[in-house]
């Protein structure tokens, strides 16, 4: 199966035009940064409302994609570069940063609104036991360290 995936990826890369590959790289930077509030901030706090995180993510994704699409260059009419003007100014800023800012603002504002209006946040199913593991716990691979024989 992994050979099929590798061959498929190779064909995909070789068959793409260079400009399409560059567009995907630009959009990848925009899209991956939008996961930050949900994944990274979510590891440290449960303050954000789950629906606010989802709506903030969607706002950042839509704005970042649309903004990147609208950037023109001398050689292409869309996806012409990674920078766009900060709203209301002529200052150029990385599109992913603009989209991320929108994502965070929407997430924070909607969290405040949803909490003030008592929108059900849902039930968090994680337990304290989910955050710890000890050597010998069921389902864990044996510990491999500097003093463990290579064939163990």
**Predicted TM-score (pTM) of this structure:** 0.74
**138 vs 151, higher pLDDT:** 138
CA atoms within 13 A on the CB side of 76: 13
Q: What is the pLDDT of residues 92-133, one digit of tens each?
A: 999 999 999 999 999 999 999 999 999 998 887 877 777 777
Which residues does 26 contact at the CB level (< 8 Å), separation at least 6? Answer: 68, 79, 81, 82, 95
Q: Is 85 helix (H, G, I), strand (E, B) or coil?
A: strand
Tokens of 107: 């997430």
- What pLDDT does 59 receive? 97
What is the 3-state composition of the chain as percent helix, strand, coil, each rounded to the nearest 5?
Answer: 55, 5, 40
pLDDT of res. 137 = 75
Query: Which residues sit opposite 92 in a β-bridge?
Result: 85
User: What are the pLDDT digits (tens) for 5-58?
Assistant: 999 888 887 887 777 777 788 889 899 999 998 888 878 888 899 999 999 999
């Amino acid at each position: 199966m992994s050979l099929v995936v590798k061959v498929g990826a190779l064909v995909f890369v070789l068959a793409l035009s260079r400009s399409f590959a560059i567009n995907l790289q630009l959009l990848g930077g925009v899209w991956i940064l939008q996961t930050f509030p949900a994944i990274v901030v979510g590891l440290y706090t449960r303050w954000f409302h789950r629906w606010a995180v989802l709506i903030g993510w969607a706002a950042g994704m839509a704005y970042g994609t649309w903004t990147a699409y609208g950037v023109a260059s001398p050689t292409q009419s869309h996806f012409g570069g990674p920078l766009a003007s900060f709203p209301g100014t002529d200052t150029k800023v990385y599109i992913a940063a603009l989209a991320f800012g929108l994502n965070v603002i929407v997430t924070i504002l909607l969290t405040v609104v949803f909490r003030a209006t008592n929108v059900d946040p849902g039930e968090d199913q994680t337990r304290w036991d989910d955050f710890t593991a000890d050597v010998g716990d069921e389902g864990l691979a044996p510990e491999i360290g500097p003093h463990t024989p290579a064939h163990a």
